[in-house]
Amino acid sequence: MGGRKRSRCEKTENSSDHLFYISYPKPILQTKTKAYKTPSQRNRLSGHERIKLQRFPFTCSSVENLDLLYIVEPGTMWQEMTSYKSFVLGGMKYYRDDFVFVANEQTVKCRKLTNESETTRDGQEWIARILEVRASDETHVYARVHWMYRPDDLPPGTSDGTKKIQGRQSYHEANELILSNHMDVIDVMSVSGPAKVKEWVEIEGEERKEDLFCRQAYDWRHSRLSDLPGTS
């Protein structure tokens, strides 16, 4: 993933070429509220109400605080769209919590050069987990996702225990992925197919040679990896 996806930022994503983007507010203390009468007071309250909490779904993570407060911007446009449990693309139905392959500029170029209608699964496509689906109509459908990182995507300075690393390590296997808390909003037209990804606890050794699997989590905000299962 690395520089090919949106770059890491403390407060927001680079939104110059995306209709929707994610911002990350600071935690808000829970206080008693009263009825606000002026527009400015109501706007302040509605801004707080737009802040959502995304729980991190990975069960094997040893890294704490992977849950994130977030806001999808532009907030009004996002909230006005209808929320759905699934969407249909190319005759295939995709649900929340499904893993999907996502096309990008590199895979589109490869298709044009080879005249192939589908990209071969050679590590060029991105992989994401669907968290939320919203649409204004059948041609404007969007998904909020968690990105899966390939080991090669780990940026310089990533904390791996007491070490600082970059990219694939000797313990990473060929079909290994890393589930991150890096969120994004994508147009579902960029989805190129379903991806089968299993957690480490679901598969045995021989199956790992064939299936995409994950056993580590990546904290995108602080660039740190969780421990390998059984080593913490």
Tokens 């021989």 correspond to 206
Cα torsion 13, 122, 130, 208: sign: negative
Q: Which pLDDT tens digit goes with each residue over 4-43?
A: 454 443 445 555 567 999 999 976 544 444 444 454 444 4
Confidence of residue 44 (pLDDT cuts 50, 70, 90): very low
Q: Which pLDDT tens digit goes with each residue over 175-189?
A: 999 999 999 999 999
* Residue, of 187 and 58, whose pLDDT is higher: 187
Q: What is the pLDDT of residue 26?
A: 79
Backbone φ and ψ for 49, nearest 5 degrees, come out as -70, -20
* Distance in angstroms (rounded) separating the CA atoms of residues 196 and 212: 6
Strand bridging mode 21-23 / 68-73? antiparallel
pTM above 0.75, yes or no: yes
Backbone φ and ψ for 2, nearest 5 degrees, come out as 45, -130
* Residue, of 111 and 226, whose pLDDT is higher: 226
